[in-house]
A and B are shown apart, each in its own frame.
Chain A
Protein backbone atom coordinates (compact mmCIF):
# COMPACT_ATOMS: atom_id res chain seq x y z
CA UNK A 1 0.00 0.00 0.00
CA UNK A 2 1.37 3.37 -1.02
CA UNK A 3 1.78 5.83 1.84
CA UNK A 4 -0.15 9.00 1.31
CA UNK A 5 2.16 12.00 0.99
CA UNK A 6 0.92 14.32 3.71
CA UNK A 7 4.08 16.38 4.10
CA UNK A 8 4.33 18.91 1.30
CA UNK A 9 7.86 20.12 0.67
CA UNK A 10 7.72 23.51 -1.01
CA UNK A 11 9.05 27.02 -0.64
CA UNK A 12 6.87 29.85 0.62
CA UNK A 13 4.24 31.22 0.12
CA UNK A 14 2.41 28.22 1.46
CA UNK A 15 -0.94 29.85 2.10
CA UNK A 16 -2.77 30.87 -1.05
CA UNK A 17 -5.43 33.58 -1.16
CA UNK A 18 -6.97 32.32 -4.36
CA UNK A 19 -5.91 35.40 -6.32
CA UNK A 20 -4.72 35.41 -9.90
CA UNK A 21 -3.70 38.00 -12.46
CA UNK A 22 -6.97 37.46 -14.28
CA UNK A 23 -9.06 37.94 -11.17
CA UNK A 24 -7.26 41.13 -10.16
CA UNK A 25 -7.31 42.61 -13.63
CA UNK A 26 -11.00 41.98 -14.21
CA UNK A 27 -11.73 43.44 -10.75
CA UNK A 28 -9.92 46.61 -11.85
CA UNK A 29 -12.06 46.66 -15.02
CA UNK A 30 -15.16 46.29 -12.85
CA UNK A 31 -14.04 49.14 -10.59
CA UNK A 32 -13.58 51.42 -13.59
CA UNK A 33 -17.21 50.99 -14.66
CA UNK A 34 -18.68 53.90 -12.62
CA UNK A 35 -16.17 56.35 -14.10
CA UNK A 36 -16.77 54.93 -17.58
CA UNK A 37 -20.51 55.32 -17.01
CA UNK A 38 -20.08 59.01 -16.17
CA UNK A 39 -17.96 59.62 -19.25
CA UNK A 40 -20.49 57.79 -21.48
CA UNK A 41 -23.23 59.95 -19.94
CA UNK A 42 -21.25 63.16 -20.52
CA UNK A 43 -19.75 62.49 -23.94
CA UNK A 44 -22.18 60.01 -25.48
CA UNK A 45 -21.32 57.40 -28.08
CA UNK A 46 -18.04 59.09 -28.93
CA UNK A 47 -16.70 57.99 -25.53
CA UNK A 48 -17.97 54.43 -26.05
CA UNK A 49 -16.16 54.35 -29.40
CA UNK A 50 -12.85 55.47 -27.83
CA UNK A 51 -13.01 52.88 -25.04
CA UNK A 52 -14.02 50.00 -27.32
CA UNK A 53 -11.38 50.82 -29.95
CA UNK A 54 -8.43 51.20 -27.54
CA UNK A 55 -9.40 48.00 -25.70
CA UNK A 56 -9.67 46.06 -28.96
CA UNK A 57 -6.40 47.48 -30.31
CA UNK A 58 -4.51 46.68 -27.10
CA UNK A 59 -5.78 43.10 -26.88
CA UNK A 60 -5.21 42.51 -30.60
CA UNK A 61 -1.63 43.82 -30.40
CA UNK A 62 -0.87 41.63 -27.42
CA UNK A 63 -2.36 38.66 -29.27
CA UNK A 64 -0.15 39.44 -32.28
CA UNK A 65 2.96 39.56 -30.09
CA UNK A 66 1.92 36.33 -28.40
CA UNK A 67 1.60 34.70 -31.81
CA UNK A 68 4.86 35.90 -33.34
CA UNK A 69 7.30 36.46 -30.47
CA UNK A 70 6.36 34.90 -27.19
CA UNK A 71 3.61 32.33 -27.11
CA UNK A 72 3.56 32.26 -23.31
CA UNK A 73 1.70 35.59 -23.13
CA UNK A 74 -1.88 35.24 -21.95
CA UNK A 75 -3.40 38.10 -23.89
CA UNK A 76 -6.83 37.62 -22.35
CA UNK A 77 -5.57 37.96 -18.76
CA UNK A 78 -7.16 41.39 -18.59
CA UNK A 79 -3.95 43.40 -18.33
CA UNK A 80 -4.16 44.53 -21.94
CA UNK A 81 -7.83 45.36 -21.40
CA UNK A 82 -6.98 47.46 -18.32
CA UNK A 83 -4.22 49.24 -20.26
CA UNK A 84 -6.68 49.92 -23.09
CA UNK A 85 -9.36 51.32 -20.81
CA UNK A 86 -6.90 53.44 -18.81
CA UNK A 87 -5.45 54.77 -22.06
CA UNK A 88 -8.96 55.64 -23.26
CA UNK A 89 -9.59 57.50 -20.01
CA UNK A 90 -6.57 59.68 -20.76
CA UNK A 91 -7.81 60.71 -24.20
CA UNK A 92 -10.40 63.18 -25.46
CA UNK A 93 -13.61 61.57 -26.70
CA UNK A 94 -13.19 63.11 -30.18
CA UNK A 95 -9.81 61.41 -30.76
CA UNK A 96 -9.48 60.08 -34.33
CA UNK A 97 -9.01 56.33 -34.81
CA UNK A 98 -5.36 56.55 -35.85
CA UNK A 99 -4.54 58.40 -32.63
CA UNK A 100 -6.06 55.49 -30.70
CA UNK A 101 -4.11 52.98 -32.77
CA UNK A 102 -0.77 54.76 -32.30
CA UNK A 103 -1.50 55.13 -28.59
CA UNK A 104 -2.24 51.42 -28.26
CA UNK A 105 0.92 50.48 -30.18
CA UNK A 106 3.05 52.68 -27.92
CA UNK A 107 1.36 51.39 -24.75
CA UNK A 108 1.62 47.69 -25.56
CA UNK A 109 4.88 47.52 -27.50
CA UNK A 110 7.07 50.35 -26.18
CA UNK A 111 5.44 50.61 -22.76
CA UNK A 112 5.16 46.95 -21.94
CA UNK A 113 6.41 44.22 -24.28
CA UNK A 114 9.92 45.53 -25.02
CA UNK A 115 10.62 45.26 -21.29
CA UNK A 116 9.47 41.65 -21.28
CA UNK A 117 5.73 41.87 -20.79
CA UNK A 118 3.48 42.03 -17.76
CA UNK A 119 5.39 42.43 -14.51
CA UNK A 120 8.62 43.58 -16.18
CA UNK A 121 7.66 47.05 -17.38
CA UNK A 122 9.28 49.97 -15.55
CA UNK A 123 6.73 52.56 -16.59
CA UNK A 124 2.96 52.50 -16.59
CA UNK A 125 2.09 51.56 -20.22
CA UNK A 126 -1.04 53.71 -20.47
CA UNK A 127 0.86 56.77 -19.22
CA UNK A 128 3.78 56.16 -21.59
CA UNK A 129 1.26 56.21 -24.43
CA UNK A 130 -0.46 59.33 -23.11
CA UNK A 131 2.78 61.30 -22.83
CA UNK A 132 3.93 60.06 -26.24
CA UNK A 133 0.67 61.26 -27.81
CA UNK A 134 0.68 64.54 -25.88
CA UNK A 135 4.15 65.40 -27.15
CA UNK A 136 3.55 64.13 -30.69
CA UNK A 137 0.04 65.43 -31.34
CA UNK A 138 -0.45 68.50 -29.13
CA UNK A 139 -3.39 69.74 -31.23
CA UNK A 140 -5.49 66.56 -30.99
CA UNK A 141 -4.58 65.98 -27.36
CA UNK A 142 -5.60 69.41 -26.06
CA UNK A 143 -8.96 70.08 -27.72
CA UNK A 144 -11.39 68.63 -25.23
CA UNK A 145 -15.09 68.19 -26.05
CA UNK A 146 -17.45 70.03 -23.72
CA UNK A 147 -19.59 67.51 -21.78
CA UNK A 148 -23.29 67.32 -22.42
CA UNK A 149 -22.92 68.93 -25.86
CA UNK A 150 -22.87 66.54 -28.76
CA UNK A 151 -22.30 69.00 -31.60
CA UNK A 152 -18.52 68.87 -31.51
CA UNK A 153 -17.94 71.96 -29.36
CA UNK A 154 -14.47 71.84 -27.85
CA UNK A 155 -12.89 73.79 -25.05
CA UNK A 156 -9.99 73.81 -22.62
CA UNK A 157 -9.89 71.85 -19.37
CA UNK A 158 -10.19 73.83 -16.13
CA UNK A 159 -6.43 73.44 -15.60
CA UNK A 160 -5.81 74.66 -19.15
CA UNK A 161 -7.94 77.75 -18.51
CA UNK A 162 -6.05 78.33 -15.27
CA UNK A 163 -2.71 78.11 -17.09
CA UNK A 164 -3.61 80.46 -19.94
CA UNK A 165 -6.05 82.91 -18.39
CA UNK A 166 -5.19 82.98 -14.70
CA UNK A 167 -7.11 82.53 -11.49
CA UNK A 168 -9.95 84.94 -12.32
CA UNK A 169 -11.20 82.78 -15.18
CA UNK A 170 -11.84 79.70 -13.04
CA UNK A 171 -13.78 81.54 -10.33
CA UNK A 172 -17.09 80.76 -11.99
CA UNK A 173 -16.49 76.99 -11.96
CA UNK A 174 -18.39 75.30 -9.14
CA UNK A 175 -16.59 72.74 -6.98
CA UNK A 176 -19.60 70.40 -7.23
CA UNK A 177 -19.32 70.46 -11.04
CA UNK A 178 -15.63 69.61 -10.79
CA UNK A 179 -16.23 66.73 -8.38
CA UNK A 180 -19.11 65.24 -10.35
CA UNK A 181 -17.46 65.67 -13.71
CA UNK A 182 -19.44 68.36 -15.49
CA UNK A 183 -16.32 69.98 -17.00
CA UNK A 184 -14.26 69.60 -20.13
CA UNK A 185 -11.54 66.98 -20.11
CA UNK A 186 -10.48 63.49 -21.06
CA UNK A 187 -12.77 60.50 -20.52
CA UNK A 188 -11.40 59.67 -17.09
CA UNK A 189 -10.36 62.97 -15.58
CA UNK A 190 -13.80 64.49 -15.32
CA UNK A 191 -15.50 62.77 -12.38
CA UNK A 192 -13.56 62.43 -9.15
CA UNK A 193 -16.58 60.98 -7.35
CA UNK A 194 -17.11 58.06 -9.75
CA UNK A 195 -13.41 57.20 -9.55
CA UNK A 196 -13.60 57.17 -5.75
CA UNK A 197 -16.56 54.78 -5.82
CA UNK A 198 -14.64 52.41 -8.10
CA UNK A 199 -11.48 52.66 -6.02
CA UNK A 200 -13.47 51.91 -2.83
CA UNK A 201 -14.13 48.46 -4.30
CA UNK A 202 -10.40 47.93 -4.92
CA UNK A 203 -9.63 49.05 -1.36
CA UNK A 204 -12.20 46.57 -0.09
CA UNK A 205 -10.58 43.78 -2.13
CA UNK A 206 -7.14 44.99 -0.89
CA UNK A 207 -5.79 45.30 -4.43
CA UNK A 208 -4.66 48.83 -3.68
CA UNK A 209 -3.50 50.21 -0.34
CA UNK A 210 -4.11 53.64 1.15
CA UNK A 211 -0.50 54.87 1.19
CA UNK A 212 0.00 56.03 -2.39
CA UNK A 213 -3.37 57.76 -3.02
CA UNK A 214 -3.40 59.47 0.38
CA UNK A 215 0.17 60.74 0.24
CA UNK A 216 -0.18 61.68 -3.46
CA UNK A 217 -3.42 63.64 -3.09
CA UNK A 218 -2.41 64.98 0.33
CA UNK A 219 0.88 66.35 -0.99
CA UNK A 220 -0.85 68.12 -3.88
CA UNK A 221 -3.38 69.58 -1.43
CA UNK A 222 -0.78 70.82 1.06
CA UNK A 223 1.59 72.13 -1.61
CA UNK A 224 -1.10 74.11 -3.45
CA UNK A 225 -2.61 75.27 -0.14
CA UNK A 226 0.70 76.84 0.87
CA UNK A 227 0.82 78.89 -2.32
CA UNK A 228 -2.89 79.74 -2.10
CA UNK A 229 -2.29 80.96 1.44
CA UNK A 230 0.65 83.12 0.33
CA UNK A 231 -1.08 84.70 -2.65
CA UNK A 232 -4.69 83.79 -3.50
CA UNK A 233 -4.68 86.33 -6.35
CA UNK A 234 -2.15 84.31 -8.32
CA UNK A 235 -2.67 80.69 -7.30
CA UNK A 236 -5.85 78.62 -7.45
CA UNK A 237 -7.35 77.08 -4.32
CA UNK A 238 -6.24 73.60 -3.22
CA UNK A 239 -9.84 72.35 -3.56
CA UNK A 240 -9.80 73.33 -7.23
CA UNK A 241 -6.51 71.50 -7.74
CA UNK A 242 -7.89 68.46 -5.95
CA UNK A 243 -10.90 68.00 -8.18
CA UNK A 244 -9.57 69.19 -11.53
CA UNK A 245 -7.40 67.30 -13.96
CA UNK A 246 -6.38 63.70 -13.68
CA UNK A 247 -5.33 63.75 -10.03
CA UNK A 248 -7.85 61.16 -8.85
CA UNK A 249 -7.43 58.96 -11.91
CA UNK A 250 -3.66 59.12 -11.50
CA UNK A 251 -3.56 58.67 -7.73
CA UNK A 252 -6.12 55.87 -7.55
CA UNK A 253 -5.45 53.86 -10.71
CA UNK A 254 -2.16 54.85 -12.36
CA UNK A 255 0.21 55.33 -9.42
CA UNK A 256 -1.12 52.26 -7.61
CA UNK A 257 -0.42 49.93 -10.53
CA UNK A 258 1.05 46.82 -8.87
CA UNK A 259 3.89 46.45 -11.35
CA UNK A 260 5.18 50.01 -11.32
CA UNK A 261 4.78 50.97 -7.66
CA UNK A 262 7.02 50.06 -4.70
CA UNK A 263 6.20 47.22 -2.30
CA UNK A 264 6.68 48.36 1.29
CA UNK A 265 4.50 50.92 3.09
CA UNK A 266 7.24 53.46 3.69
CA UNK A 267 8.39 53.30 0.08
CA UNK A 268 4.79 53.79 -1.05
CA UNK A 269 4.46 56.91 1.10
CA UNK A 270 7.62 58.38 -0.42
CA UNK A 271 6.47 57.36 -3.91
CA UNK A 272 3.13 59.09 -3.39
CA UNK A 273 4.81 62.18 -1.95
CA UNK A 274 7.10 62.40 -4.99
CA UNK A 275 4.17 62.05 -7.39
CA UNK A 276 2.24 64.77 -5.57
CA UNK A 277 5.22 67.09 -5.29
CA UNK A 278 6.06 66.96 -8.99
CA UNK A 279 2.40 67.18 -10.02
CA UNK A 280 1.98 70.38 -8.00
CA UNK A 281 5.32 71.73 -9.23
CA UNK A 282 4.37 71.23 -12.88
CA UNK A 283 0.86 72.57 -12.38
CA UNK A 284 2.03 75.73 -10.61
CA UNK A 285 5.26 76.53 -12.44
CA UNK A 286 5.57 74.24 -15.48
CA UNK A 287 4.62 74.97 -19.07
CA UNK A 288 2.08 72.13 -19.24
CA UNK A 289 -1.25 72.68 -17.47
CA UNK A 290 -1.36 69.13 -16.07
CA UNK A 291 1.52 67.24 -14.47
CA UNK A 292 0.04 64.02 -13.09
CA UNK A 293 1.25 61.78 -15.90
CA UNK A 294 4.75 63.24 -16.00
CA UNK A 295 5.05 63.02 -12.22
CA UNK A 296 3.98 59.37 -12.07
CA UNK A 297 6.31 58.35 -14.92
CA UNK A 298 9.16 60.22 -13.22
CA UNK A 299 8.56 58.46 -9.92
CA UNK A 300 8.16 55.08 -11.69
CA UNK A 301 11.85 55.36 -12.53
CA UNK A 302 12.68 55.49 -8.80
CA UNK A 303 10.71 52.39 -7.85
CA UNK A 304 13.66 49.94 -7.99
CA UNK A 305 15.68 52.34 -5.82
CA UNK A 306 12.84 52.74 -3.31
CA UNK A 307 12.35 48.98 -3.17
CA UNK A 308 16.02 48.56 -2.40
CA UNK A 309 16.35 51.16 0.33
CA UNK A 310 13.00 50.54 1.99
CA UNK A 311 12.53 46.78 1.77
CA UNK A 312 9.47 45.22 3.28
CA UNK A 313 10.04 43.81 6.73
CA UNK A 314 9.99 40.07 6.31
CA UNK A 315 8.21 37.84 8.81
CA UNK A 316 10.56 37.04 11.67
CA UNK A 317 13.25 39.43 10.51
CA UNK A 318 15.25 41.21 13.21
CA UNK A 319 14.84 44.93 12.88
Chain B
Protein backbone atom coordinates (compact mmCIF):
# COMPACT_ATOMS: atom_id res chain seq x y z
CA UNK B 1 0.00 0.00 0.00
CA UNK B 2 1.31 3.39 -1.05
CA UNK B 3 1.21 5.58 2.05
CA UNK B 4 1.21 8.90 0.20
CA UNK B 5 -1.61 7.85 -2.08
CA UNK B 6 -3.57 6.51 0.88
CA UNK B 7 -3.12 9.83 2.71
CA UNK B 8 -4.35 11.91 -0.23
CA UNK B 9 -7.26 9.51 -0.70
CA UNK B 10 -8.42 9.68 2.88
CA UNK B 11 -8.13 13.46 2.97
CA UNK B 12 -10.03 14.09 -0.27
CA UNK B 13 -11.66 11.34 -2.35
CA UNK B 14 -12.46 8.99 0.53
CA UNK B 15 -12.65 11.59 3.27
CA UNK B 16 -15.21 10.20 5.73
CA UNK B 17 -17.23 13.43 5.83
CA UNK B 18 -16.85 15.09 2.45
CA UNK B 19 -16.29 11.99 0.33
CA UNK B 20 -18.32 9.24 1.97
CA UNK B 21 -20.79 11.46 3.92
CA UNK B 22 -20.38 9.37 7.07
CA UNK B 23 -20.59 10.59 10.64
CA UNK B 24 -22.55 13.71 9.80
CA UNK B 25 -24.23 13.95 13.21
CA UNK B 26 -21.12 14.87 15.25
CA UNK B 27 -19.81 16.81 12.23
CA UNK B 28 -22.77 19.16 12.18
CA UNK B 29 -23.31 19.34 15.92
CA UNK B 30 -19.85 19.91 17.34
CA UNK B 31 -18.23 22.24 14.80
CA UNK B 32 -19.29 25.57 16.29
CA UNK B 33 -15.60 26.53 16.40
CA UNK B 34 -12.34 25.29 14.89
CA UNK B 35 -11.08 24.19 18.31
CA UNK B 36 -14.17 22.07 18.98
CA UNK B 37 -13.77 20.54 15.53
CA UNK B 38 -10.16 19.54 16.21
CA UNK B 39 -11.06 18.19 19.66
CA UNK B 40 -13.87 16.06 18.34
CA UNK B 41 -11.76 14.93 15.38
CA UNK B 42 -8.79 13.85 17.50
CA UNK B 43 -10.98 12.02 20.00
CA UNK B 44 -12.57 10.12 17.13
CA UNK B 45 -9.13 9.47 15.58
CA UNK B 46 -7.89 7.87 18.78
CA UNK B 47 -10.93 5.57 19.01
CA UNK B 48 -10.75 4.74 15.30
CA UNK B 49 -7.04 3.94 15.45
CA UNK B 50 -7.24 1.78 18.56
CA UNK B 51 -10.37 -0.09 17.58
CA UNK B 52 -8.96 -0.76 14.11
CA UNK B 53 -5.82 -2.27 15.62
CA UNK B 54 -7.69 -4.42 18.15
CA UNK B 55 -10.31 -5.58 15.66
CA UNK B 56 -7.53 -6.47 13.24
CA UNK B 57 -5.70 -8.42 15.98
CA UNK B 58 -8.87 -10.34 16.82
CA UNK B 59 -10.03 -10.82 13.23
CA UNK B 60 -9.40 -14.56 13.28
CA UNK B 61 -10.85 -15.02 16.78
CA UNK B 62 -14.22 -13.25 16.49
CA UNK B 63 -16.91 -15.58 15.10
CA UNK B 64 -18.58 -14.13 12.04
CA UNK B 65 -22.12 -14.31 13.48
CA UNK B 66 -21.44 -12.13 16.52
CA UNK B 67 -18.93 -9.77 14.95
CA UNK B 68 -20.99 -6.56 15.26
CA UNK B 69 -21.55 -6.88 19.05
CA UNK B 70 -17.89 -7.75 19.43
CA UNK B 71 -16.81 -4.66 17.48
CA UNK B 72 -19.16 -2.51 19.54
CA UNK B 73 -17.64 -3.81 22.79
CA UNK B 74 -14.14 -2.98 21.50
CA UNK B 75 -15.19 0.49 20.35
CA UNK B 76 -17.12 1.21 23.55
CA UNK B 77 -14.06 0.38 25.61
CA UNK B 78 -11.94 2.98 23.83
CA UNK B 79 -14.75 5.56 23.88
CA UNK B 80 -14.97 5.16 27.65
CA UNK B 81 -11.21 5.68 27.90
CA UNK B 82 -11.38 8.86 25.77
CA UNK B 83 -14.43 10.13 27.64
CA UNK B 84 -12.85 9.73 31.07
CA UNK B 85 -9.39 11.00 30.16
CA UNK B 86 -10.83 14.07 28.44
CA UNK B 87 -12.93 14.77 31.50
CA UNK B 88 -9.78 14.60 33.60
CA UNK B 89 -7.46 16.65 31.38
CA UNK B 90 -9.54 18.81 28.99
CA UNK B 91 -12.50 19.57 31.20
CA UNK B 92 -13.71 22.68 29.32
CA UNK B 93 -13.59 21.02 25.88
CA UNK B 94 -15.25 17.93 27.32
CA UNK B 95 -18.06 20.10 28.64
CA UNK B 96 -18.58 21.82 25.25
CA UNK B 97 -18.62 18.58 23.29
CA UNK B 98 -20.86 17.05 25.95
CA UNK B 99 -22.93 14.09 24.83
CA UNK B 100 -21.10 13.75 21.53
CA UNK B 101 -18.04 12.13 23.13
CA UNK B 102 -19.98 9.07 24.41
CA UNK B 103 -21.82 9.06 21.09
CA UNK B 104 -18.57 8.31 19.22
CA UNK B 105 -19.44 4.70 19.98
CA UNK B 106 -22.23 4.75 17.40
CA UNK B 107 -20.27 6.81 14.87
CA UNK B 108 -20.68 4.92 11.61
CA UNK B 109 -17.15 5.75 10.43
CA UNK B 110 -15.63 3.61 13.18
CA UNK B 111 -17.93 0.64 12.79
CA UNK B 112 -17.63 1.03 9.02
CA UNK B 113 -13.82 0.87 9.06
CA UNK B 114 -13.85 -2.08 11.48
CA UNK B 115 -16.29 -4.01 9.29
CA UNK B 116 -14.95 -3.02 5.88
CA UNK B 117 -11.21 -2.77 6.52
CA UNK B 118 -9.79 -3.90 9.86
CA UNK B 119 -11.56 -7.27 9.87
CA UNK B 120 -9.90 -8.19 6.56
CA UNK B 121 -6.44 -6.60 6.74
CA UNK B 122 -3.21 -6.88 8.69
CA UNK B 123 -2.58 -4.92 11.90
CA UNK B 124 -0.13 -2.47 10.27
CA UNK B 125 -2.49 -1.63 7.42
CA UNK B 126 -5.42 -1.28 9.81
CA UNK B 127 -3.33 1.05 11.94
CA UNK B 128 -2.54 3.25 8.91
CA UNK B 129 -6.15 3.14 7.76
CA UNK B 130 -7.40 4.23 11.19
CA UNK B 131 -4.80 7.00 11.40
CA UNK B 132 -5.46 8.49 7.97
CA UNK B 133 -9.22 8.12 8.13
CA UNK B 134 -9.20 9.76 11.55
CA UNK B 135 -6.99 12.60 10.36
CA UNK B 136 -9.18 13.05 7.29
CA UNK B 137 -12.19 13.30 9.59
CA UNK B 138 -10.34 15.80 11.80
CA UNK B 139 -9.35 17.78 8.71
CA UNK B 140 -12.93 18.24 7.50
CA UNK B 141 -14.17 19.03 11.00
CA UNK B 142 -11.41 21.64 11.29
CA UNK B 143 -12.38 23.25 7.97
CA UNK B 144 -16.09 23.27 8.83
CA UNK B 145 -15.36 24.57 12.33
CA UNK B 146 -13.10 27.32 10.93
CA UNK B 147 -15.72 28.51 8.44
CA UNK B 148 -18.42 28.58 11.09
CA UNK B 149 -16.22 30.26 13.70
CA UNK B 150 -14.92 32.96 11.32
CA UNK B 151 -18.36 33.80 9.93
CA UNK B 152 -20.35 33.24 13.08
CA UNK B 153 -18.14 34.66 15.82
CA UNK B 154 -15.52 36.63 13.88
CA UNK B 155 -12.67 34.66 15.41
CA UNK B 156 -10.39 31.78 14.48
CA UNK B 157 -9.03 29.32 17.06
CA UNK B 158 -10.11 31.81 19.70
CA UNK B 159 -8.21 34.76 18.15
CA UNK B 160 -10.45 37.69 17.22
CA UNK B 161 -10.17 38.63 13.56
CA UNK B 162 -12.58 41.56 13.38
CA UNK B 163 -13.27 44.43 15.83
CA UNK B 164 -15.60 43.73 18.73
CA UNK B 165 -18.18 46.25 17.49
CA UNK B 166 -18.70 44.58 14.11
CA UNK B 167 -21.66 42.29 13.56
CA UNK B 168 -21.13 38.61 12.89
CA UNK B 169 -23.50 36.34 11.00
CA UNK B 170 -25.05 34.61 13.99
CA UNK B 171 -26.77 31.91 11.96
CA UNK B 172 -23.46 30.16 11.26
CA UNK B 173 -23.07 29.23 14.93
CA UNK B 174 -26.56 27.73 14.88
CA UNK B 175 -27.71 24.49 13.24
CA UNK B 176 -28.84 25.96 9.86
CA UNK B 177 -25.38 27.49 9.42
CA UNK B 178 -23.80 24.05 9.86
CA UNK B 179 -25.86 22.62 7.01
CA UNK B 180 -25.21 25.63 4.76
CA UNK B 181 -21.44 25.63 5.32
CA UNK B 182 -21.20 21.85 4.91
CA UNK B 183 -23.04 22.10 1.60
CA UNK B 184 -20.64 24.67 0.22
CA UNK B 185 -17.61 22.77 1.58
CA UNK B 186 -18.87 19.63 -0.19
CA UNK B 187 -18.92 21.57 -3.46
CA UNK B 188 -15.35 22.76 -2.89
CA UNK B 189 -14.03 19.33 -1.87
CA UNK B 190 -15.70 17.72 -4.88
CA UNK B 191 -13.84 20.14 -7.14
CA UNK B 192 -10.53 19.46 -5.31
CA UNK B 193 -10.99 15.68 -5.50
CA UNK B 194 -11.54 15.92 -9.24
CA UNK B 195 -8.33 17.93 -9.57
CA UNK B 196 -6.39 15.22 -7.71
CA UNK B 197 -7.94 12.43 -9.78
CA UNK B 198 -7.03 14.23 -13.00
CA UNK B 199 -3.48 14.83 -11.76
CA UNK B 200 -2.95 11.13 -11.13
Q: Contact residues of A with B, CB < 8 Å?
A: 98, 102, 110, 114, 132, 135-140
Contact = CB atoms under 8 A, between A and B. Distances in A.
B169 A138 contact: no
B81 interface: no
B180 interface: yes
Contacts of A98: 167
B174 interface: yes
B25 interface: no
A136 B180 contact: no
B171 interface: yes
8 contacts: A98-B167, A114-B183, A135-B170, A135-B174, A136-B169, A136-B172, A137-B167, A138-B170
B169 A110 contact: no
Interface residues of B, number: 9
A251 B174 CA distance: 29
B176 A135 contact: yes
Nearest to B172: A136
Contacts, number: 20
Contacts of B183: 114
Contacts of B180: 110
A114 B170 CA distance: 22
Interface in B172-191: 172, 174, 176, 180, 183
A98 B176 CA distance: 21
A132 B167 contact: no
Contacts of B172: 136
A135 B171 contact: yes
Contacts of A135: 170-171, 174, 176
Interface string B115-157: 0000000000000000000000000000000000000000000
B171 A140 contact: no
A255 B13 CA distance: 41
B169 A102 contact: yes
Nearest to B173: A136
A139 B176 CA distance: 19
A138 B171 CA distance: 10
A318 to B, nearest CB: 44
A110 B172 CA distance: 14
B94 to A, nearest CB: 29
Q: Which of B167, B172, B183 has the most CB of A within 10 A?
A: B167
